[in-house]
Amino acid sequence: MASTLAVDTREVPGVSIVSLGRWGVVGGALLIQMILGTVYAFSVLVEPFESAFGWSRTQITATASISLGVFAATMVLAGGVLDRRGPRFTGLIGAGFLTAAFVAVSQMRSLAGMYVVHGIVTAGVAIALYLLIHAVTAGKRSPIADGLKIGVMIGVGVTSLLVAQTMITGSSSDSLWMFYLTYGFLGGAGLGFGYVAPVTACVKWFPRHRGLITGIAVAGFGAGSMIFAPSARWAIDAVGWSSFFLVHGIVCAGGLTLGALLLRNPTDNEKARLGAVRQAAREAGEETHWTDMVRTWRFWRLWVLFVFGATAGLMTITQLKPFATLQGLTAAQGAAAIAVLAACNAAGRTLWGAASDRIGRSRSLAAMFALQAVMMFAINAFSGPTLFFLAAGWVGFNFGGIFALLPSATADAFGTRGLGTNYGIVFTGYGVAGILGPIVGARVYDLTNA
């Protein structure tokens, strides 16, 4: 049963970038996605943190799993904010979270920095849980709702005090929990708010070419990793991980803010000029509220595809650099393999998106996952730089296609009016994959050293 969705597309007061039109939105989307894509170069951080802190590979890689899990969970909340306040406001929230995360990572050896991060995370958790209860109860006052909100505040407060006590009595300056809270929780929240805003905005501006434009928009994610991997390795070797993350946080603040200011939804007049009115008329009655969506077989099919497809890709991505070393490649060749994977990731997003506009989402998904399965079985047999680069590119190409096809498939199946919330829920499948993929890959390495 379809439901009518009330959507408010208010944006940041006093900011208007209407003259840039839809290509300005695409530019902002690419800029944001390039910065967010640095998360896919996580494997270049594994060895520096092993040396600096003595943590195991599983402990370090767990941070990537936390970040990706929070990323997916936050997408649901961010989607609701986006459907009510618009992409610009949502993108600015993401910019704030991600900047705070990277700057906080740079202060991991600082006791004062640890307490600041602890306070930020505690406040953020309390606000997020409060808003979640408010959303579930539809903002209605009742003894149960009020009791839940009070209980959440008490629970968060008690937990906060217990964690603070651990910081005081433990080896706080090198605490692994600091890394989990900063890169994991704050960074994951920034990814969630930052990612959903440009994707949904672009889909609304290009109703006739959803697959292609989604692919172009999210291609920046792969391109960001391609640029970040070699430069991050060089910068960490040159100035150290702490200074690197401080500068990276400042750069992210500027880039994400600019990208967010370029985002907006089309007005009714602009939709008419874009030919979206006829498209919207065809979809009348197909606009599906999330409470109805989760009861459908189409939703669960998309969700399961996301889980299994992304798990396979993330197992490879988070362990690519160490696996390259194991295969006898040099550090430079390992970083180059990450760049190859990232470049093909970006290309796959665009090309699979364009293909799906021509041959359909279902056929494209079937072909993409079949090709990925072949490589996952064959990759361990590849040796030498050339074959290793081929394998990395193949995995990246097909993994990237997931992020072009599934937003478009969600819009096709459930409409665009509530796309922020609906795709946010579909995206929780990526959160499950984000937990499974990196940890399983790292655990296999720790057990077998292969």
Q: Which pLDDT does position 14 carry in this prediction?
A: 37
* Confidence check: pLDDT of 106 > 70: yes
| CATH of region 19-108+175-275+290-448, choose from 1.10.1740.10, 1.20.1250.20, 3.50.50.60, 1.10.1840.10 | 1.20.1250.20
Spatial distance between the Cα atoms of 57 and 10, rounded to a whole number of angstroms: 45
pLDDT single digits (tens) 151-194? 655 655 555 555 555 554 555 445 677 788 888 888 888 999 99
Measured at the CA of 311, the angle between CA 307 and CA 315, to 5 degrees, comes to 175
Segment 195-212 shows an average pLDDT of: 85
Specify the higher pLDDT residue, 120 or 171: 120
**Type and span of the H or E element at 208:** none
Spatial distance between the Cα atoms of 244 and 265, rounded to a whole number of angstroms: 35
Spatial distance between the Cα atoms of 186 and 117, rounded to a whole number of angstroms: 9
Question: Position of tokens 């929990």?
Answer: 177
Segment 412-427 shows an average pLDDT of: 86
Burial class of residue 373 in the structure, from the number of CB atoms within 10 Å of its CB (0-12 exposed, 13-18 middle, 19+ buried): middle
Spatial distance between the Cα atoms of 235 and 137, rounded to a whole number of angstroms: 48
Q: Give percent of the chain above pLDDT 70.
A: 74
Where does the pLDDT of residue 147 fall: very low under 50, low under 70, confident under 90, or very high at 90 and above?
A: low
Q: Compute CA distances 251 → 31, 32, 100, 285, whole Å.
A: 12, 12, 12, 44
Structure tokens at 23: 């290509």
Q: Which residues are CB-neighbours of 177 under 8 A, at least 6 positions away? A: 163, 166
Spatial distance between the Cα atoms of 394 and 316, rounded to a whole number of angstroms: 11
pLDDT single digits (tens) 232-246? 778 888 888 888 888
Q: Compute CA distances 346 → 32, 219, 237, 387, 397, whole Å.
A: 14, 4, 27, 20, 7
Mean pLDDT across the chain: 77
Spatial distance between the Cα atoms of 193 and 176, rounded to a whole number of angstroms: 25
Phi and psi torsions of 384, nearest 5°: 85, 150
Where does the pLDDT of residue 291 fall: very low under 50, low under 70, confident under 90, or very high at 90 and above?
A: confident
Spatial distance between the Cα atoms of 41 and 342, rounded to a whole number of angstroms: 9
* Confidence check: pLDDT of 264 > 80: yes
Query: Which of 72, 45, 57 lies closest to 338, judged by CA?
Result: 45
User: DSSP letters along 138-161, please?
Assistant: TT---HHHHHHHHHHHHHHHHHHH
**pTM as predicted:** 0.73
Q: What share of the chain is helix, strand, coil (3-state, %, to 5)?
A: 85, 0, 15
Q: Which pLDDT does position 32 carry in this prediction?
A: 93
Mean pLDDT lowest among 312-316, 349-353, 426-430: 312-316
